Amino acid sequence: MSNSRYAAIIGWGMAVPQQVVTNEDLARRVNTTDEWIRSRTGISERRVAGPGVFTSTLATAAGREAMERAGVAPSDIDMVIVATCTPDRPFPATACAVQANLGITRAPAFDIAAACSGFVYGMSVATGMIRSGMSRCLLLVAADIFTHLIDWSDRNTCVLFGDGAGAVVLQATEERLGLISTQIGAAGEGETMMAVDAGGTRMPATADLLAQGKQYVYMNGREIFKHAVREMCDSATRVVKEAGLSLRDISLVIPHQANVRIIEAVAKRLELPADRVVINLDRYGNTSSASVPIALYEAVQQGRVKDGDYLLITAFGGGLTWGSSVIRWGRP
């Protein structure tokens, strides 16, 4: 196989469950208010997957739309990557279910677990696969259903998350498109700052542990907040410089949608005007790995992205993990 220098985004798709849960709905379940949630997080409502909707269900729908938009057939896709930390099952990979659902026969399929940084990690890995010649046309999906790992009686976490999936099709090209520069990082010493304890090999799920609620997400929100602002700013600054650009050259910043105060703090530090920062977490909450591709999708559909534009994506999540990339928009 021949190598290509770049991997252009030629298709994009998204999927969210139908059910909307508003802040008022949550205020009827736990001791919280619409005012607290909106002022502390920026979230007004989120989408929640009902019974029978799995991570692969949303990932398949987003992937199908991205492939249709790209105008590619299942036989054109030679690799499937799903970024998720809420897989259908502990194994096999959710990417295998997505591959089968979409009729993509034989192409390698695997998952990436980088929590909320999953799409940024995924773009780096996918572009690397294309640059190495391992792939020429790749489907990358970021999908998470965090609401199934939430204790709906815990007001610290149940107000934050929503479910969704975003997908892109990447194609090999010699044109300077797609990922121009990227930086991904992790600080594993912070692994228990946000985690789900039960269900893995360290703590297999038992009736006793389930009764203790060990299958649910917990987090130290205040600490994560501080790390998120620092790492997103540092990595964003680095990738813009590596791309040979300045922040003034970036048309649109698409940050992970965890908390509007994190996004505002990053924008303030990087001196970015509000109209160049995409925010849609008011309608979706934190959809984890899916938040960046869903925000990208909406920005594109709203006509906010033009060919030749430089976009900056930046994310932070459990792990701890983070990453930023500069993307040059356009089809070869």
* Footprint of ligand ACO (CB under 6 A): 32, 36-37, 40-41, 115-116, 155-156, 159, 194, 219, 221-222, 224-225, 228, 258-259, 262, 286, 288, 317-318
Shortest distance in whole angstroms from residue 182 CB to ligand ACO = 19
Let me know: does 169 contact 139? Beta carbons within 8 Å.
Answer: yes
Catalytic residue among 23, 158, 256, 259: 256
Question: Which lies closer to ligand ACO via its Cβ, residue 14 or residue 228?
Answer: 228
Alpha carbon distances (Å) from 39 to 23, 107, 233, 248: 12, 46, 23, 29
Let me know: does 202 contact 33? Beta carbons within 8 Å.
Answer: no
Question: Which lies closer to ligand ACO via its Cβ, residue 116 or residue 313?
Answer: 116
Tell me whether residue 158 is one of the annotated catalytic residues. no
Shortest distance in whole angstroms from residue 76 CB to ligand ACO = 32
Shortest distance in whole angstroms from residue 15 CB to ligand ACO = 18
Catalytic residue among 116, 137, 158, 233: 116
Angstrom distance (rounded) from CA 303 to CA 299: 6
Tell me whether residue 116 is one of the annotated catalytic residues. yes
Angstrom distance (rounded) from CA 290 to CA 12: 12
Shortest distance in whole angstroms from residue 121 CB to ligand ACO = 12
Alpha carbon distances (Å) from 214 to 48, 71, 153, 198, 200: 21, 44, 14, 5, 11
Tell me whether residue 137 is one of the annotated catalytic residues. no
Angstrom distance (rounded) from CA 231 to CA 233: 5
Angstrom distance (rounded) from CA 23 to CA 106: 44
Question: Which lies closer to ligand ACO via its Cβ, residue 4 or residue 86?
Answer: 86
Question: Which lies closer to ligand ACO via its Cβ, residue 225 or residue 310?
Answer: 225
Q: Is 55 helix (H, G, I), strand (E, B) or coil?
A: helix
Shortest distance in whole angstroms from residue 5 CB to ligand ACO = 32
Catalytic residue among 23, 158, 259, 286: 286
H or E element, residue 25: helix 23-27
Instruction: Kindly report the number of other CB atoms within 10 A of residue 51's CB atom.
Output: 6
Question: Which lies closer to ligand ACO via its Cβ, residue 223 or residue 249?
Answer: 223
Residues annotated as catalytic are: 116, 256, 286
